[in-house]
Structure 1
Amino acid sequence: MGESAVRSAPGPFQANQLKDGDRYELSSGHPIYCAPAGPEHAGRSLTGAAVIASDPDVEWAGVDAGFAPEPGTLRAPDVAVAAPPDGRGWIPGVPLLAVEYAGVGQDESDLQTKIAELLGGGSRYIWVVRLLGPRRVEVYRSGEPMRVATIGESLTAPGVLRNPIPVEALFERAAADRAALRNLLQRAGYADLDAVREEGREEGREEGREEGREEGREEGRGEGIADAILTLLAERGLTVAPDLAARIHACRDHDQLKRWLRAATRVTDPAALFAMGDFHQVR
């Protein structure tokens, strides 16, 4: 969101005059005030960022990151994917993928100017997630007409994202969790949750040859899911205390393990997993 500025001539400001935390963007040297986001805008943009940042091919993604394609322009998309920045200060150039959440108070004129500046600077994809009216995402690419994707469709960004993103995953937490879980499993070397289950079945079959086929299969499936939980937490940079890791591996309740696996995509403290189930399930 921002205030439109008369841009018939370049304005007097440059990106290097702004510092981290200033609530302004620049367009051709003209300042554009960026108001704080309301709860819907803030919550939905965080949901979308989690899905996008977890994609296996994304090396770097940011929220409200400042990009400076030229000295008088500074733009900060709600969510951006780019090559890992080198050094401090504003990021030179533009993101490969930019996502804007447009809700109440959106300045449409400035939004279109922002889209044109990003595409003109080399952005490959711009998605505008509309928070008013029917749920939809406007897709912009240089040299192509804008198209609209609606619920039930998927968004793709070849060369930037490996996986398609369902439109609803940019709006709904549950859909976002499913997509992020798929992404994080792929980062950990699994194609999907079925691959985790299959690995568990394979381990179960090996143990079953020695200790009894049925018991071994159940043990292996549980161990496979437990390993996936710990791998996901490690992939997210979360340290699991040895006693918690042991308790996860000791759990024999597969439904509980699956709940923990889904929760592992969003917890910030591994110990919080155990708030989802009673310890009497852990032997």
Structure 2
Amino acid sequence: MSASNSNTRGPFHADELRPGDRYELSNGHPIYCLPAGARHAHGNIVGALPLATDPAVESAGIDAGFSPTPHILRAPDIAVGGVPNEPGWIRGAPPLAVEYADTGTDEADLKLKIHELLTAGTEHVWIVRLVGPRRVEVHRPNEPVRTVSSGDVLVADGILKNPVPVDALYDRDKAYQATFQNLLERQGYASLDAVRAEGREEGREEATAQAILHVLAARNLVATDEQKARILACRDPALLDAWLTRAATEASVDALFA
């Protein structure tokens, strides 16, 4: 029975279903979930990459089962936020839910699923349309539906730090680009250029530190192991330059650090 065909409460509870069962529940009625087609399955993996790696995201899941009430069990294609690493259904609803809609999608059930997720507390539901032009329908509580097209970006303030290009939910290379940027930011870098600049700066700093030691050795000034370690560990370009000047002029290694 399709949940959309009955307003009466069905006989099933979410706790009666097991992980791996191919059913969702709406008002106690089972909804059979067909295996995903190739295009749909590809979309799930591609779309999960830039979403799960966003610097603000702590958890995400594919086909995670959410049960906000005993008679409802819904599994968005991608859930962002609220996915603990533990067994069983998840109580409540994800902050962001993504559904891929392909040929064969039951539009009545999809509409009901959106309603149930938003009612349960989901803040954004993105419907990624796989039929026709690339576009994502954005559903939010008490707001009209918006459509965001290819070439534009999607935002989820308070859930995602970075905008998500619509095309990154379809195209693997676009998804990789967004994912790479996310991973850089997770490590504290604004861009790949920032990584390269740091590498160049670290190379310069290491070269300056080695030059200080060579100058001291050439002047027969013997640095202790502790002093050598301090020089090699320094990453302050201005301080290293000052030490290099002192290494060439001061009478002792101790004076270098005065």
| TM-score (norm. length: structure 1) | 0.71
Residue 64 of structure 2 contacts residue 75 of structure 2 at CA under 8 Å; is this kept in 1?
yes
Shift of 1:81: 1.2
Distance 1:155 1:19, change over 3 A: same
Matching residue's letter, 1:156: V
Q: Deviations over 1:94-142 (max 9, x none)?
A: 1000000000100000000000000011101000000000000000100
Q: Please give the alpha-carbon distance, in whole angstroms, between the structure 2 residues aligned to 1:19 and 1:201.
A: 54
Q: Give the structure 2 partner of residue 185 of structure 1.
A: 184
Matched, 1:13 2:12: yes
Distance 1:211 1:44, change over 3 A: same
Q: Please give the alpha-carbon distance, in whole angstroms, between the structure 1 residues aligned to 2:180 and 2:28.
A: 42
SS in 2 for 1:70: coil
- Rg: which structure is higher? 2
Moved over 3 A (4+): 2-5, 207-212
Matching residue's letter, 1:188: Q
Q: Deviations over 1:29-78 (max 9, x none)?
A: 01000000011100111000011000111111000000001000000000
Which consecutive residues of structure 1, in runs of 5 or more, have no partner in the other structure?
213-283
Matching residue's letter, 1:57: A
| TM-score (norm. length: structure 2) | 0.78
Residue 128 of structure 2 contacts residue 135 of structure 2 at CA under 8 Å; is this kept in 1?
yes
Residue 61 of structure 2 contacts residue 83 of structure 2 at CA under 8 Å; is this kept in 1?
no
Q: Please give the alpha-carbon distance, in whole angstroms, between the structure 2 residues aligned to 1:4 and 1:122.
A: 20
Q: Please give the alpha-carbon distance, in whole angstroms, between the structure 2 residues aligned to 1:23 and 1:57.
A: 31
Q: Please give the alpha-carbon distance, in whole angstroms, between the structure 2 residues aligned to 1:7 and 1:73.
A: 14
Residues 141-156 of structure 1: matches in 2 within 5 Å?
Answer: 141-156=140-155
Deviates more, 1:66-75 or 1:79-88: 79-88
Q: Deviations over 1:204-256 (max 9, x none)?
A: 332454679xxxxxxxxxxxxxxxxxxxxxxxxxxxxxxxxxxxxxxxxxxxx
Which consecutive residues of structure 2, in runs of 5 or more, have no partner in the other structure?
212-258
Distance 1:108 1:84, change over 3 A: closer
Residue 96 of structure 2 contacts residue 124 of structure 2 at CA under 8 Å; is this kept in 1?
yes
Q: Please give the alpha-carbon distance, in whole angstroms, between the structure 2 residues aligned to 1:29 and 1:210.
A: 70
Q: Please give the alpha-carbon distance, in whole angstroms, between the structure 2 residues aligned to 1:45 and 1:86.
A: 19
Q: Please give the alpha-carbon distance, in whole angstroms, between the structure 2 residues aligned to 1:139 and 1:5.
A: 21
Q: Give the structure 1 partner of residue 161 of structure 2.
A: 162
Residue 153 of structure 2 contacts residue 165 of structure 2 at CA under 8 Å; is this kept in 1?
yes
Q: Please give the alpha-carbon distance, in whole angstroms, between the structure 1 residues aligned to 2:209 and 2:24.
A: 66
Residue 4 of structure 2 contacts residue 112 of structure 2 at CA under 8 Å; is this kept in 1?
no
Q: Give the structure 2 partner of residue 130 of structure 1.
A: 129
Distance 1:133 1:4, change over 3 A: farther
Shift of 1:5: 4.2
Identical-residue share of aligned pairs (%)? 56
Residue 46 of structure 2 contacts residue 171 of structure 2 at CA under 8 Å; is this kept in 1?
yes
Residue 14 of structure 1 contacts residue 71 of structure 1 at CA under 8 Å; is this kept in 2?
yes
Q: Give the structure 2 partner of residue 37 of structure 1.
A: 36
Residue 3 of structure 1 contacts residue 107 of structure 1 at CA under 8 Å; is this kept in 2?
no
Residue 4 of structure 1 contacts residue 107 of structure 1 at CA under 8 Å; is this kept in 2?
no
Q: Please give the alpha-carbon distance, in whole angstroms, between the structure 1 residues aligned to 2:15 and 2:209.
A: 68
Q: Give the structure 2 partner of residue 78 of structure 1.
A: 77
Matching residue's letter, 2:34: A
Matching residue's letter, 2:31: I
Q: Please give the alpha-carbon distance, in whole angstroms, between the structure 2 residues aligned to 1:87 and 1:151.
A: 36
Shift of 1:200: 1.2
Q: Give the structure 2 partner of residue 229 of structure 1.
A: none
Residue 138 of structure 1 contacts residue 148 of structure 1 at CA under 8 Å; is this kept in 2?
yes
Matching residue's letter, 1:71: P
Q: Please give the alpha-carbon distance, in whole angstroms, between the structure 1 residues aligned to 2:78 and 2:40.
A: 12
Q: Please give the alpha-carbon distance, in whole angstroms, between the structure 2 residues aligned to 1:46 and 1:87.
A: 21
Equivalences, count: 211
